[in-house]
Amino acid sequence: MRILVISDIHANYDAFEAVLGDAGAVDETWCLGDIVGYGPDPNLCVELVRDQPQLTCLLGNHDVAVIGRMPVVAFNSDARRSIEYQQKVMTADSVDFLQSLPENLKVRGEISLVHGSPRDPVWEYILNSMTARLNFEHFDTPYCFVGHTHLQCMFQMDEARDRVTLGSPRVGEVHQMIPRGIYNPGSVGQPRDRDPRAAYAIYDSEAHTWEPRRVTYDIPAVQARIRELGLPEKHAVRIAEGW
pLDDT per residue as tens digits for the range 27-73: 999 999 999 999 999 999 999 999 999 999 999 999 999 999 999 99
Selection from 190, 189, 186 nearest residue 201 by Cα: 186
Q: In the chain, what percentage of residues exceed pLDDT 90?
A: 98
How confident is residue 159, by pLDDT bands cut at 50, 70 and 90?
confident
pLDDT beyond 90 at 169: no
Query: At 65, which helix (H) or strand (E)?
Result: helix 61-66
The residue ranges of every structural domain in the chain are: 2-241
Query: In angstroms, rounded to a whole number, what is the distance separating the alpha carbons of residues 97 and 48?
Result: 12
pLDDT beyond 90 at 120: yes
Phi, psi of 185 (to 5 degrees): -75, -5
- Angstrom CA distances, 66 to 80, 83, 135, 171, 230, stand at 10, 6, 27, 32, 18
The reported pTM is 0.97
181-234 residue pLDDT tens? 999 999 999 999 999 999 999 999 999 999 999 999 999 999 999 999 999 999
Superfamily of domain covering 2-241: Metallo-dependent phosphatases (3.60.21.10)
- What per-residue confidence (pLDDT) applies to 26? 98
